[in-house]
């Protein structure tokens, strides 16, 4: 993302252990540019929340340095870091009105009373709650409470806002609405945001870049489209979006393309050589469901493979077909429903085809 001078947040060789033996964060090195929206994504226990808590000051690092706006903050108290924070449980004061909740962080920072009302009003309008200042949190819906929590994190105009699973308690529709809300606020204000979630669709929707965590290590750090289209390893391919996995053995390598003999008698497949070593290695082939074509014209693709259709699910804009391919009974195909119907039938045998560039040979 550019030179060190461009980086607003820097994690330098950061490690974290709670018991002195097991590292829950292992040698974490990530820079966050000014104005960037970076999401830390991963399953529970992968280390993402611990990294956020170290940045907020609620946890201390065992090793390494955290730098904010050019200054080390390892020994700076949380309330002196000037960071806005949004939690999953909102953490609003129930005995205060919405306006009083927003005024509180301004009062703590000794903002003049003459300015507090203006700043609170501006923050409420930012989250479309301009008429809700006199209500108590208990009088608001979950989505409205979350908007108040976001407004409170922004009201004192911090340069950095941290969000820890802030939408986890909301229902699906409201969660999607708030994703766009937060994304637009970020775009409008240009504030730097670091966001933690285990929801990959949420990360893909909102982020400039995503750091995918597993076992205390960042497996890949890239823009959403790069993570989806060009995963570096089998974990990232499986965690970001829906993904078909076929196991095989590398039989030949020719530049960027390798030939892989599928386990289960599926023949030889050409794939991009991404994360394999040499001929004879086992590999996981990664293939997105929407890149597979059913019964393609002869010669269209270098890769053709027989499949038995096991299940068909109608999802409106496409048919989700589950098939058995080379012994894998969970191979997914997304067939566009462009003309209102498809000709697939459960139990029939079909040919599948796909391009070599759409199939990635990854670690076994």
pLDDT at position 170? 81
Residue limits of CATH 3.40.50.300 in the chain: 4-234
Domain 242-362: CATH superfamily, name plus number: Nucleic acid-binding proteins (2.40.50.140)
Whole-number Å distance between alpha carbons of 14 and 30: 9
Please state whether the predicted TM-score (pTM) of the whole model is above 0.85. Answer: yes
Q: Characterize the bridge pairing of strands 282-287 and 293-294.
A: unpaired
pLDDT at position 152? 93
pLDDT at position 279? 95
pLDDT at position 339? 64
Q: Characterize the bridge pairing of strands 282-287 and 359-362.
A: antiparallel
User: What CATH topology corresponds to 4-234?
Assistant: Rossmann fold (3.40.50)
pLDDT at position 272? 96
| Helix residue ranges, H only, the chain | 48-56, 98-108, 113-126, 142-154, 172-189, 200-206, 224-229, 234-239
pLDDT at position 1? 43
pLDDT tens, position by position, 131-185: 999 999 999 988 899 889 999 999 998 989 999 998 887 888 888 888 998 999 9
Low-confidence ranges of the chain (pLDDT < 70): 1-5, 339-342
Is residue 192 within a helix (H) or strand (E), and if so which, with residue range?
strand 192-197
pLDDT at position 23? 95
Residue limits of CATH 2.40.50.140 in the chain: 242-362
């Amino acid at each position: 993302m550019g030179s060190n001078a461009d980086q607003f947040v820097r994690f330098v060789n950061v490690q974290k252990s709670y018991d002195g033996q097991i590292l829950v964060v292992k040698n974490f090195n990530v820079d966050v540019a000014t104005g960037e929206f970076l999401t830390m994504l991963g399953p529970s226990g992968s280390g993402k929340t611990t990294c956020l808590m170290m940045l907020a000051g609620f946890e201390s690092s065992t090793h390494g340095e955290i730098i904010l706006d050019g200054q080390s903050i390892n020994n700076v108290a949380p309330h002196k870091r000037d960071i806005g924070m949004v939690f999953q449980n909102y953490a609003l004061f129930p005995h205060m009105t919405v306006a009083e909740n927003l005024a509180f962080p301004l009062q703590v920072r000794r903002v003049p009373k003459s300015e507090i009302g203006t700043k609170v009003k501006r923050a409420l309008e930012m989250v479309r709650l301009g008429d809700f200042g006199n209500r108590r949190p208990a009088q608001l819906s979950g989505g409205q409470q979350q908007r108040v929590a976001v407004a409170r994190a922004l009201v004192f105009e911090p340069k950095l806002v941290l969000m820890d699973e802030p939408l986890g308690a909301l229902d699906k529709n409201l969660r999607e609405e708030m994703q766009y809300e937060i994304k637009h606020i970020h775009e409008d204000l240009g504030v730097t945001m670091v966001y933690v979630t285990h929801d990959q669709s949420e990360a893909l929707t909102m982020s400039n870049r995503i750091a995918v965590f597993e076992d205390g290590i960042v497996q890949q750090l890239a823009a959403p489209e790069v993570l989806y289209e060009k995963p570096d390893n089998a974990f990232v391919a499986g965690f970001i979006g829906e993904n078909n996995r076929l196991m095989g053995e590398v039989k030949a390598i020719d530049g960027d393309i390798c030939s892989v003999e599928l386990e289960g008698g599926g023949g030889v497949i050409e794939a991009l050589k991404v994360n394999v070593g040499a001929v004879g290695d086992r590999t996981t082939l990664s293939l997105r469901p929407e890149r597979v074509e059913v019964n393609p014209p002869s010669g269209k693709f270098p890769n053709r493979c027989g499949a038995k259709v096991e299940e068909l699910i109608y999802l409106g804009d496409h048919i989700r077909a589950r098939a058995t391919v080379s012994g894998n009974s969970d191979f997914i195909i997304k067939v566009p429903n462009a003309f209102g119907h498809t000709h697939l039938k459960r139990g029939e045998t079909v040919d599948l085809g796909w391009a070599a560039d759409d199939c990635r040979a990854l670690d076994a």
